[in-house]
Amino acid sequence: MGYNDKWELFSEKYKNLCTGHDVIPDSLFKEYGVNRGLRDINGNGVLTGLTNISRIDSFRMENGQKEPCDGKLWYRGYNVTDLVQHIPKDSFGFEKIAYLLLFGELPSAEEAKDFSELLAAGRELPTNFTRDVIMKASSKDIMNSMTRSILTLASYDDNLNSTEISNVILQCLNLISVFPMLAVYGYHAYNHYDRNESMYIHRPDPNLSTAENLLMMLRPDKKYTFLEAKVLDVALILHMEHGGGNNSTFTTRVVTSSGSDTYSAIAAAMSSLKGPKHGGANIKVMEMMDDIRNHVRDYSDKEEISQYLSKILAGEAFDNKGLIYGMGHAVYSLSDPRERVFKGFVEQLAKAKHREEDMLLYNNIETLAPELIAEKRKIYKGVSPNVDFYSGFVYDMLDIPVELYTPIFAIARIVGWSAHRLEEIVGMNKIIRPAYKSVMQERELPCDTL
């Protein structure tokens, strides 16, 4: 028997021992009033902090009762839908909204110019970093490749462990600047070494916005249209921030509260974001849509689509997990405002790229899936498409490879993580340390067994 077979046999055998000891009956959660996933029976998160950075509305009070309502998202007091609509049609907003989230105020024209120039100047990696770090042990998993790069960048920082606010601002701005390079170059390395394709490394252009640089560095001919960059800019703005409780931001706050450094906090957040129930959902949506296309013949046949979605929900199709990806949210009830804003741009892009057939399929799933999920699951607050239902479709229309979908989320969300790291350091000064009720039984130590 080979070494690998032995490992497999061992893990198979011990799987049962693990599950035997690690399953805790539902009744004990009830008995001790423990909220699984830090959420109550209605899905509301346990209150664990206060924040000034953003707010999510998903319910409103009506005659003393909490009623589900259309979702609203606020960045530093401004409605995100308004922010997106007020960005001049001929320019980009990511940099200005990053300034708003980090420092709490919208920048003046001069501050916005200075800030964009600062980010542009920061788009530089240490000498030979691309060759010595990014290209070594390339991976299809660009989130992992980026995380490795982030942790390696720490070795180049003489002030690594200082949590002095000005130092943390510097570290965060530097990471925000280089994230697009870590992602795109990580993809090029994978594309070359693992897929045998040509490799090209384009340097960022200081005169371009984050969204434009991303597309320019990704494409062999460096070309993109204004509409493509504009839609990507909107996608970035919509993914930048989502309160303190989302899994990756909470991770940032937990790691920050222990006094750890910026690179470690951001690397931990990356590890959280890639999960398929969080930022990794955008990849899952695309894989699921490909699977649906392979099994549904007529995209206008609601009955046929419904039947296949029911199979996915029953765990009998796609990845057998029983989830329709891109649907549902821990906080939103009737709608996710980001999905609504995004949809307008998606429709424009689908027309420009002649993808109306696909748009029809998305539209039908968007209506059918919430009804089916509500029928099959215990949903207390309603279920609706989330921001990532359309993001993969948009990135596909922009010819962005699927491996970069979650990294694009990270390129945006690092701004929110940074704002929360700063808020945690400035205002909290207390290590986050919740309690676990132990249900372990004490045992007599048998003689002569150790």
Ligand X SMILES: CC(=O)SCCNC(=O)CCNC(=O)[C@H](O)C(C)(C)COP(=O)(O)OP(=O)(O)OC[C@H]1O[C@@H](n2cnc3c(N)ncnc32)[C@H](O)[C@@H]1OP(=O)(O)O
Which residue, among 410, 262, 395, 391, has the nearest Cα to 339 in the 3D structure? Answer: 391
State the DSSP H helix or E strand holding residue 262, giving kind and residue range, or none if neither: helix 262-273
Q: Tell me which stretch binds ligand OAA (CB under 6 A): 189-197, 302-310, 323-331, 440-448.
A: 323-331
Closer to ligand X by Cβ: residue 56 or 119: 56
- Look up 329 and say whether it is catalytic: yes
Q: Return the structure tokens found at 137.
A: 């042990």
Beta-bridge mates of residue 450: none
The entry of ligand OAA, ligand X, none near residue 354 (CB within 5 to 8 angstroms by kind) is none
Strand, helix or coil for residue 385: strand
Question: Which of ligand X, ligand OAA, none is residue 223 near (CB under 5 to 8 Å by kind)?
Answer: none
Given the residues 261, 336, 388, 396, the one annotated as active site: 388
Cβ count within 10 A of residue 176 = 25
> Which CB sits closer to ligand OAA, 208 or 341?
341
Contact between 327 and ligand OAA by CB under 6 A: the answer reads: no
Q: Which does 331 bind (CB under 5 to 8 A by kind): ligand OAA, ligand X, none?
A: ligand OAA
Taking the C-alpha atoms of residue 11 and residue 3, their distance in angstroms, rounded to an integer, is 13
Instruction: Decide: is 410 part of the binding site for ligand OAA (CB under 6 A).
Output: no
DSSP 14-68: HHHHHHHHH---HHHHHHTT--GGGB-TTSPBPP----SSEEEEEEEEETTEEEE
| Residue of 228, 230, 236, 238 whose CA lies nearest to 386 | 238
Residues 213, 218, 221: CA angle, nearest 5 degrees? 95
The residue among 235 and 359 lying less far from ligand X, judged by its C-beta, is 235
Burial 156-170 (b: 16+ CB within 10 A, else e): ebeeeeebeeebbbb
Using CB under 6 A as the binding rule, whether residue 246 contacts ligand OAA is answered as yes
Residues that bind ligand X (CB under 6 A): 43, 277-279, 281, 313, 322-330, 373, 377-379, 381, 383, 386-388
Subset of 224-243 contacting ligand OAA (CB under 6 A): 242
Stretch that binds ligand OAA, among 102-110, 228-236, 252-260, 328-336 (CB under 6 A): 328-336
Nearest to ligand X of 49, 275 (CB atom): 275
Nearer to ligand X, 181 or 323 (CB): 323
Per-position DSSP letters for 285-327, written without gaps between them: HHHHHHHHHHH-S-TT-HHHHHHHHHHHHTTSSTTSS---TTB
Q: Which is nearer to ligand X, 180 or 326 (CB)?
A: 326
| Binding partner at 377 among ligand X, ligand OAA, none, C-beta below 5 to 8 Å by kind | ligand X
Task: Quote the strand ranges of 24-64, DSSP E.
Answer: 54-62
Size of the site for ligand OAA (CB under 6 A): 5
Task: Give just the sign of the alpha carbon dihedral 52, 56, 60, 65.
Answer: negative
Could you tell me where the beta strands, DSSP code E, fall in 98-184? Answer: none
209 lies in the site for ligand OAA, by CB under 6 A: no
How many whole angstroms separate alpha carbon 40 and alpha carbon 46?
7
172 binds, among ligand X, ligand OAA, none (CB under 5 to 8 A by kind): none
Quick one: which segment of 63-71, 103-111, 324-332, 352-360 binds ligand OAA (CB under 6 A)?
A: 324-332
The one catalytic residue in 188, 239, 242, 329 is 329
Residue nearest to ligand X (CB): 328
Site residues (vs ligand OAA, CB under 6 A): 242, 246, 329-331
Enumerate the active-site residues. 329, 388
